[in-house]
Structure formats: structure tokens, C-alpha cells
Amino acid sequence: MPPMVLQPVFSYSWEVVFAVFALSGFILGWAAQRGNYCFVNAMTSIFTVRSFERFGALLLLFGLSALGAGLLVGLGIIPASDQYYFNYFGGWYILVGSIIFGFGAALAGGCNLSMLYRAASGYVQNWIELFGMMIGTYIFAIGIWPFQLYTMEKGILSTTSGGYIEYLPYLIFHNVSDSSILITTIIYSAPLIILGIYLQHRTKSKWKSFAGGKMPGISAFSKMNSFGIPTPTELPSKIRLSQDAKDMLLLKKPYGTNLTTVILALDMLLVFIVGSGYTFNYLVITSSDGGRFFEYIMMIAGQHLFLTTPWFNDSLPIVDTSTLMVVMLCVGAFFASYLSGDFKIRIPKDKKRLGIGFIGGILVGIGVRMALGCNVGLMWTNFAQIGYDGIIFLFGMLGGVYLAVKVQERL
């Protein structure tokens, strides 16, 4: 039986751990804002403008994260327990929750990552979505969590434990040796990377053909679609790579999709290495933190949810590395938007978008807590963990986004 004990890989103080998680959150917010990185945008563009460029980048992100983490473990640099220890329980709730999450996020105009960095960039609709997510977390806590917990404990359409039970090297080879991890890492990550590159190449080829060969790729986003998400409207001509780099450094030009993908994958690996043996060593952007902030709000009204409500009673501490990372993500996104001149308080002209954003936020809060994580804290993370829950979440979220697109077309 594989070990289920975490031991710090490197010896340093908790102050160092917190400092690195703060830096990681800042990098995440900065890079995502500069690259306009959004999981929902990547998925809606498939169904609205038939573009796979950003979805291909998502697959690259998942593949690179799995490859990096798997190699670190397979080569003996990081213990295997650090990769599988925080694997979630798998069950019906991941599929159902991811569908609800995808539907709500597409209506609201952003996934958990883009919701936070756009809120920090002045998008009022995403402020409303954040508040809706807090309400959704409360609805889940009092109306769904007791039943869901019962099914998890009884194993009803659910595994009864996570960890190595859902670790693909163990499921395939019945051990967690270096060789089994390395083999699984390659057969798991390579198809994601290859498919991601293929989908991007396919989209670029299509747009080249459409534009008579004058437009090399989708990189300009200047029009908002019906979901309040930037969509490609034009394809700029090529300029020298050195000028591109200079403009990016001077914040005159947004980051390319693939550059942002690489930065985010490296950021994930930074947290994976530094946090090994200390805490949840993956990027965490979930409504757990929204729920905690809601606890603060209710405390002002004299209500103590951690004493009276099951999920809040069992939730993570109010202050930890996850909360710090979320706060610093917003700080990084704010500085990136402010210094580049992108920051502006933006209220949608169509005020019904605010109401839709609130409803979408409620659904996001319910779905993300039902699934036990969001597009970052579960889906992306689980790909790096070489598990199968991320795959379930991916298909569920795609289904939810597709339904939202069809509903939005009829509104």
C-alpha cells in the first residue's frame, strides 16, 4: 500500500512557504490578466465562432502540468505521495457539479480564474458574480452538502477515499514505482500536448484560409460576445519577435495565449515543488475562499456559520495559503491592468447582464462546491495529479457551457 504521509521535501520556515504562495498568486493574476486567459472563453469559442485556438491552449496547459509534475515525481525529486495525496473522492457529484459550474460560468461571463482577475480589473459584472458565488456556496452548504456527504460516506456512485486510489499509476500498474509513474506520465500528457497543438494549428489554418493567407492567428480580442466574453474580431499581421517581446515587457501588448499557458504551467510547478510536504501544493482558486469571506460578512450580522452549518463547519481555515494566493491573484491582476492602462470600472450597457451574472454566480457557487473544486482547484490540478477526476470535470464543464450557449441564443 502506498504511503499516505506527507513529509517536507525541503527544509525552510512557513514564512517561506507563505511568501512563495503569495508570489505564485501574484504571477497567476498578472499573467492571466495580460493573456486574457479564460477557461470559459476557450470553451464558448468552440460553439460560437468555431475556434479551437484557446481550447487547444487549455489542453497544452493540462498536458504540460501533468508532464512537469510527473517527471518531478518519476525522477525521484518529489515523493509520489505529494502528487496523489490530495486527490479528491470521485463520484456523481463531480460530473453534475461540473455541468452546473460550466453552465453558470458561461452565463456569468467567466470561470473562477477570469472572474477574479476581471473583477480586479474593474468589471462590475464579475463583482456581482463573486457575490452570487458566495450565495451559491451557502445554498449548497444547507441544501446539498448533507446529502452529498452521505453518498460519499456510503460509496453511493462514489469512491470512499481519494489519494492513491484515484492515482492512475496505481490503478494501471498497482504500484507507485518510478517506472510506473514515468510511463503513465508520458501516455497521459503526450496526447493532451499533441491534441492541443493540433487544434491550434487547425484553427490558425482555418483563419489563414478565411483571410486569404494574410492572418496568421487569433490574438486580437476587441469585441464582447453575448456572454460578455472577448471574442476574436481581427488577426494582426506578423511583427518581429523582438518587438513583440519589447511591447509585452512595456505592457503595450497583451501576452500571447501560449506564452500565458507556459507561465501558468511553470507557476503550478513552482507551488508543487515549494509546497511539497507542507500544504495543498497546487493552485487553488475555488469558492471555498468565497465561502470564507461570506463567513466574515455573516459574522458582522451576528451569524457564525462555522458553528451552525455543516459545510462551513468542515471547511478549511479562514486564513491559509489558499486564501493568500487568491488575494495576491487579485493584487497581481490589478497591477497588471492598472500599469498597462487597462483598468477601468466597466458596467455593462445591458443592465440585465448584471442579473444574469448574479444568477450565474450562484450556479457557479453551487456547482464548484458540489464538484469539490473548480476549473483550477480540481480540473487543472487533477491533470497535474495524474488522476481521472479532471477528465470528468472537463467533459462536464464542456456540456454545461454548451447548454448555456444554447440558452443564451434564445434569450
Tens of pLDDT along 81-114?
A: 999 999 988 999 999 999 999 999 999 988 999 9
Q: What was the pLDDT predicted at 318?
A: 65
Residues 6 or more apart in contact with residue 196 via CB below 8 angstroms: 56, 57, 58, 59, 60, 61, 63
Task: Choose the weakest-confidence range: 135-149, 232-246, 332-346.
Answer: 232-246
Going by pLDDT thresholds of 50, 70 and 90, the confidence category of residue 293 is confident
CB 257 within 8 A of CB 235: no
Model confidence at 353: pLDDT above 70: yes
329: cell is 491573484
At residue 228, does pLDDT exceed 80? no
Mean pLDDT calculated for residue range 173-196? 97
- Residue 217's SS3 state is coil
Angstrom CA distances, 65 to 53, 76, 319, 340, stand at: 19, 17, 27, 28
pLDDT at 256: 92
Mean pLDDT across 243-252: 84
Q: What does the pLDDT average to over 330-343?
A: 97
Q: Of how many residues is the chain composed?
A: 411
Count Cβ atoms within 10 A of the Cβ of residue 144 and give its class: 0-12 exposed, 13-18 middle, 19 or more buried.
Answer: middle
User: What residues contact 162, with CB distance under 8 A and at least 6 apart?
Assistant: 86, 87, 88, 89, 90
Q: What does the pLDDT look like over 366-377, one tens digit per residue?
A: 999 999 999 999
For residue 193, give the amino acid letter: I
